[in-house]
Every structure is written in C-alpha cells, then in structure tokens.
Amino acid sequence: MTDTRTSSPVTVALASGPTGGSIDDFELFYARRALERFRTRLGRQGLLDLLAEDIEEGNAFLRENTRASEGAFKSGTTVLTTRGIGSGAFLDWMDQAFAGDEGPLLAAHPEHYVMGTDSIGARVVENIGPHVADFYMGGWGTEALAWAAEADELLPESEFPRKMSSNLFLADGTVVGRALIQFG
C-alpha cells in the first residue's frame, strides 16, 4: 500500500468554475447556494419554527443582561468601508430591501434568519454572539432616541451627514440595545 499523505499543505487553484479563484471561493459559492436552498425550502415561518427554542434562550439572555445592566449601555463600534456605492444609493437600496423581499437582506450575512418589516417594525432574527435573538429596530430618529445626540461615538456632521439611530427591542418592548449608524 502506498502512503499518499503529505507533510506540507496542498494548494488547489481553480482555473474555472462558478467563481474561479481559490478553493475557498469554490466552497463559498456552494455554501451560499446550499444556505439559500435551506432558507427557501423552510421559508420564513419554517425558520422561525426551527429556531424557536434558540430564540427563546437568546431573548432570555438579552432580557437578563438588560435587567443586570440597570440601564447602562456599553458601546461598540464597527467601521465598514465600501467601494462603488455611495451612502445615498446604499440607503435607497436598504429602504427598498426592508420594504420588499427579504432575500437580499438574508443574503447579506449567513446568520440572518429573518429580516424584514412587520406590524411592530423592522424585524431581525440573527445571532448576537452565540445566541439567536429576535428583535426589532424602530423609532428611527424620533425624540425618544435623544441619546444619539449625546453619544460619544457621534461623528462630525460635515463628514457624516447621514445618521440613523434606533432602539433595538424585543416584541414585548424590552429595549436591549441601541444602534447609531452614520454614513459619510
């Protein structure tokens, strides 16, 4: 019997295929396709049913942390830069995406399970750390969100003229987070 093991890494380069490029590109294409198939076959309600126990645990985790925080918020910052699309075009796209088919919003991240607007507001079911949570974003820019004007992370209006602020809340109204999104 011949030993076919190698002690050095094997590199596979694809000359053609669905995406060309590396083996990672190849696997990513097929992983996205498989995920889309499961999302499509299960549908929105099927995903919610499948994740119901996870959502219950995740929302309980958020409620407990909210109670333990005694109203204090701890911030975090994510900076996203893009090429080829300006903030105005992106915001127009996002408004249309939330108003219509949730497909593009689901495709934006593998851990987006439900994204869209319902009677309460903009509904998001996604992972928050290791937990699956079901929360809403709403009240964009209202007086109830005056906290955003005082946020340490508030960037200069001259460089970031488009701002959106929202509370993140559970279906029962429990505020579990905040979002301040700034576009330049």
pLDDT digits (tens, 9 = 90+) for 100-118: 778 888 888 888 899 888 8
CA–CA separation, 3 vs 73, rounded Å?
58
**Whole-number percent of the chain with pLDDT over 90:** 30
Give SS3 for 45.
helix
> What are the tens digits of pLDDT across the range 18-77?
555 778 888 888 888 999 999 999 998 999 999 999 999 999 999 999 999 998 888 888
* Residue 5 amino acid letter: R
The label of the residue with tokens 């796209």 reads 93
Please give the mean pLDDT across all residues of the chain.
Answer: 84
Give SS3 for 52.
helix
CA–CA separation, 47 vs 61, rounded Å?
20
- Residue 152 pLDDT: 84
Sign of torsion, CA 74 109 136 90?
positive
Q: Report yes or no: 35 and 106 within 8 Å, Cβ to Cβ.
A: no
| Side-by-side strand order, sheet with 162-169 | 112-117, 122-128, 131-138, 162-169, 175-183
- Residue 18 pLDDT: 55
pTM score: 0.77
CA–CA separation, 179 vs 160, rounded Å?
15
- Supply the DSSP string of 114-170, one letter for each residue: EEEE-SSSEEEEEEETTEEEEEEEE-TT-GGGGGGGG-TTPPPTTT--EEEEEEEE-
* 144 — pLDDT class (breaks 50, 70, 90): low
- Residue 59 pLDDT: 97
167: nearest Cα among 133, 129, 141: 141
Which is more confident, 132 or 16? Answer: 132
Give the pair of three-digit tokens for residue 86.
Answer: 């300006």
